[in-house]
Amino acid sequence: MKEFLIDILQNEILVYVLMAAVPLVWIIPFALFAVWWERKISAHMQDRLGPMRTGGWHGWAQTIADILKLIQKEDIIPAAADRKLFNLAPYVVFVGSFAAYAAIPFSAAYVGSEINIGLFYILAVSSFVVVGLLMAGWASNNKWSLFGAMRAAAQIVSYEIPVALSLLAVVMIVGTFDLQEINRAQSGYFWNWFVFQKFPLLFVAATIYFVASLAEVNRTPFDIPEAESELVAGYHTEYGGMKFALLFLAEYANMFAVSAIAATVFFGGWNSPFGDFMSGPVWGLFWFISKGMAFIFVHMWLRWTLPRLRVDQLMYVGWKVLIPFSFVIVLGVGFWVMLAR
Amino acid sequence: METLEEKIDARPMTIPGFGRALRSEEMVINMGPQHPSTHGVLRLELIVDGEIVVDAIPHIGYLHRCFEKHAEHMTNYQQVIPYCDRMDYVAAMNAEFGYVVACEKLLNIKVPERVEYIRVIMAEFQRIASHLIAIGTYGMDIGAFTPFLFCMRDREAILDIFEQTCGARLLYNYMWIGGLSHDVPADFAEKVKRFCKMFRGTIKELNNLLSYNKIFVERTANVGVLPADVAINYGASGPVLRGSGVKFDLRKNDPYSVYDKLEFEIPTGKGLKGTTGDCWDRYMVRVDEMEQSVNIIEQAVDKLPPGDVQSAIPKRIRPDAGEVYVRTETPKGEIGYYVVADGTASPFRVKVRPPCFVNLAVLPAISRGAMISDVIAILGSVDIVLGEVDR
């Protein structure tokens, strides 16, 4: 795609800007849609209708109206807050989640930056979010925010280990961190997807990744950093207006990022499940987004079904269940790969 | 007067496993009065060591509405009933039930059987409605949002029955001294039976969704254990007392109205998922009680005799000088009305012994050493309504 664009536009810098803008163009409509979708899903799960009026058909314009409202809000900074950090934090959080999109392969033809350490890069930059959350919690100068930030830091750092280990199992099989390479290794029919390979080792790895990724994006049952019934709203208690919208946007962007990685690494990414049928760069985009959306639906489904764990129980699940199991998976896959060679 | 810092310094660290060697500085945080999980305007002063609560001090009074002063200043006894409604506003029927029973005892009136049965049906409906709110908001405190909406949906059906009967959905002024404001509508029995049939199914649904959910059990079992002797010493009543395994229910132990003619059981906490008297037991007692209330309603509807509901209402309510104490069982526990008459048309004094106020006193005792999330779980399991705590 890069070469093709350079051919047309004859301007390399403009092409880089365009390439970088693609994920942004995707994130904003996605977040608008996902917020509306989540409200509809939760409503239908709870015998309600959800937004029905704004915009006409099933309240499709509800989130647009919400965003317009948030833009008009007064930008309030608490008197005792650390102004610099307080203002900076939402951007740091958003940059962390946006940067991960650089290496996510949307289709065979498009990946923001085709680097050979794509997966490694994503794992690294997505940890950046923690810094932003800690900044937000600390700078608010609110005890509840501080609690939320501390919980978020502890949780995300702990759950990065099972995430990395479960992805490592696939990396050991393919032998590269390059996400396009991982995608190509799964082409063909859906039984070539890594989730069905080396059964049941990678299936368990995919499950571990999914559970740990829920914790990484602070979704129920691991939503303890923002636990509205305990910490009011956690680290974003003091945020309002556009800064709150930015934190919210980052949350949904993160949600799609982890779902996209699950889809890419374990579920064939942009590959069609039926071999050559409906495959190609444009269909690839369709399959990739459908798979990502399917995971997001599961995220929402879980959120509106399950209660929330306690902090110590969360740490127990992370350190005593997921991490030992993912070590076993890594060892098992290692032996399998060695013996099968 | 010692400062707060001195108080904290003087307090010995008693949490096992967190001995003096690890002692660090505690933080004081305010939970409430504007907090989503304090169920109203309760303010909890939490002294925390990290996530662990060293002490919890409830501060009440944000919803004080001078119930006693109002009661003294009414021109007659009847006018106190709306104020009773506004104490425990999610269980108004039960609150006015206690007051009218007290006034009838003071006046020596015998009310018709039909009135008694309708009162029992309404009180049990209100018990279900109140427990539905308690259970739903409890689920929300633990982080499950959907059960709350399911509970509100079922409560709506009960409120519809109330609305058809007396026109009000929250604060009824339905039970009058000696009778009722309205008779029940013509298709009442049919509607009630349809609700009972539907509701048994939804209890099962609720159990599947919340009660036996692994995460819910993990969060509530063995949390906030209230031993039976502590519960009795604090004067706890209602599901809080029964959750600790004490079989005490005024409907059985000191029957009023027609409860002695109806068959039902008193569910108690048995420690099925953890220790007897933990949050899960208190929660489950409420679920079981709803099932018993459905039993009571079905029996009462079958036995409902015909008659006039206003025949026993006295023309003039002017009891002789004297006093009476009547206690009845509300969803939250034992409510006591101490009514003093001085021979005039208005009460000299109406003192209320509210169950929520007494149950709330248990909170600090079972919150020490718990985590912040547990305090939410414990507070929700005690089920308070601030309108009744502060009056």
Q: CA angle, A25 as apex, A19 and A29 as ends, to 5°?
A: 160
Q: Which of A149-163, B203-217, B307-321 has the lowest mean pLDDT?
A: B307-321
Q: Is the pLDDT of residue B24 over 70?
A: no
Which B-chain residues 35-64 have CB contacts (< 8 A) with chain A?
Answer: 35-37, 51
* Candidates B47, B145, B217, partner chain A, best to mutate (most A CBs within 10 A): B145
Which A-chain residues 319-338 have CB contacts (< 8 A) with chain B?
Answer: none
| Beta bridge mates, B179 | B176
Q: Is the pLDDT of residue B327 over 60?
A: yes
Q: pLDDT over 90 for what percent of chain B?
A: 23
| Contact yes or no for B334/B256 (Cβ under 8 A) | no
Nearest CA in chain A to B223: A310
In tens, the pLDDT along B222-245 reads 888 888 999 999 999 989 999 998
Q: CA angle, B70 as apex, B68 and B76 as ends, to 5°?
A: 110
Tell me what the mean pLDDT of segment B361-366 comes to. Answer: 89
Tell me what the mean pLDDT of segment B25-37 comes to. Answer: 83
**Using CA atoms, how far apart are residues A19 and A114, in angstroms rounded to an integer?**
12
| Contact criterion met (CB < 8 Å) for B219 and A46 | no
Q: Is the pLDDT of residue A107 over 70?
A: yes
Chain B residues in contact with A48 (beta carbon < 8 A): 149
**Using CA atoms, how far apart are residues A172 and A210, in angstroms rounded to an integer?**
19
Across the interface, of A307, A311, A312, the residue whose CB is closest to B142 is: A307
Chain B residues in contact with A147 (beta carbon < 8 A): 51, 372
Across the interface, of A143, A229, A232, the residue whose CB is closest to B143 is: A229
**Using CA atoms, how far apart are residues A227 and A151, in angstroms rounded to an integer?**
10
Q: What is the 3-state secondary structure (H, E, C) of chain B?
A: CCCHHHHHHHCCCCCCCCCHHHCCCCEEEEECCCCCCCCCCCEEEEEEECCEEEEEEEECCCCCCCHHHHHHHCCCHHHHHHHHHCCCCCCHHHHHHHHHHHHHHHHCCCCCHHHHHHHHHHHHHHHHHHHHHHHHHHHHHHCCCHHHHHHHHHHHHHHHHHHHHHCCCCCCCCEECCEECCCCCCCHHHHHHHHHHHHHHHHHHHHHHHHCCHHHHHHHCCCCCCCHHHHHHHCCCCHHHHHCCCCCCHHHHCCCCCHHHCCCCCCCCCCCCCCCCCHHHHHHHHHHHHHHHHHHHHHHHHHCCCCCCCCCCCCCCCCCCEEEEEEEEECCEEEEEEEEECCCCCCCEEEEECHHHHHHCCHHHHHCCCEHHHHHHHHHHHCCCHHHHHC
* All residues at 6 or more sequence positions from A9 whose CB lies less than 8 Å from its CB, including other chains: A15, A18
Nearest CA in chain B to A42: B146
Extents of the domains making up chain B: 71-361
Peptide bond into A221 cis (omega under 30): yes
| Contact yes or no for A151/A159 (Cβ under 8 A) | no
Distance from CA of B275 to the nearest CA of A (A): 18
Measure CA of the first residue to CA of the last residue in chain A; give whole Å: 36
In tens, the pLDDT along A13-23 reads 888 888 778 88
Q: pLDDT over 70 for what percent of chain A?
A: 99
Distance from CA of A144 to the nearest CA of B (A): 8
**Using CA atoms, how far apart are residues B360 and B385, in angstroms rounded to an integer?**
10
* Candidates B223, B372, B375, partner chain A, best to mutate (most A CBs within 10 A): B372
Other beta carbons less than 10 A from residue B203's beta carbon: 18
Give me the phi and psi of B123, to 5 degrees please: -65, -40
Chain B residues in contact with A313 (beta carbon < 8 A): 218-219
| Contact criterion met (CB < 8 Å) for B29 and A144 | yes
Nearest CA in chain A to B375: A230
A269 in helix, strand or coil? Answer: coil
Q: Which of A162-176, B6-20, B72-86, B87-101 has the lowest mean pLDDT?
A: B6-20
| Beta bridge mates, B353 | B336
| Contact criterion met (CB < 8 Å) for B376 and A229 | yes
Query: How many residue pairs bridge chain A and chain B with CB atoms within 8 Å of each other?
Result: 75
Nearest CA in chain B to A142: B29
| Contact criterion met (CB < 8 Å) for B219 and A305 | no
A104 in helix, strand or coil? Answer: coil
Architecture of domain B71-361: Orthogonal Bundle (1.10)
- How confident is residue B15, by pLDDT bands cut at 50, 70 and 90? low
In tens, the pLDDT along A199-222 reads 888 889 999 999 998 888 888 788
| Contact criterion met (CB < 8 Å) for A309 and B218 | yes
A140 in helix, strand or coil? Answer: coil
The two three-digit tokens of residue B60, written as one number? 């009440």
State the pLDDT at residue A328: 92
Closest by CA to B134, choosing from B61, B194, B210, B201, is B210
Extents of the domains making up chain A: 78-340
H or E stretch at A291: helix A281-303
Whether B208 contacts chain A with CB within 8 A: no
Chain B residues in contact with A154 (beta carbon < 8 A): none
Chain A residues in contact with B141 (beta carbon < 8 A): 229
Q: Is the pLDDT of residue B12 over 70?
A: no
**Using CA atoms, how far apart are residues B203 and B207, in angstroms rounded to an integer?**
6
* Candidates A302, A303, A306, partner chain B, best to mutate (most B CBs within 10 A): A306
Chain B residues in contact with A309 (beta carbon < 8 A): 215, 218-219
Nearest CA in chain B to A221: B143
| Contact criterion met (CB < 8 Å) for B149 and A47 | yes
Whether B162 contacts chain A with CB within 8 A: no
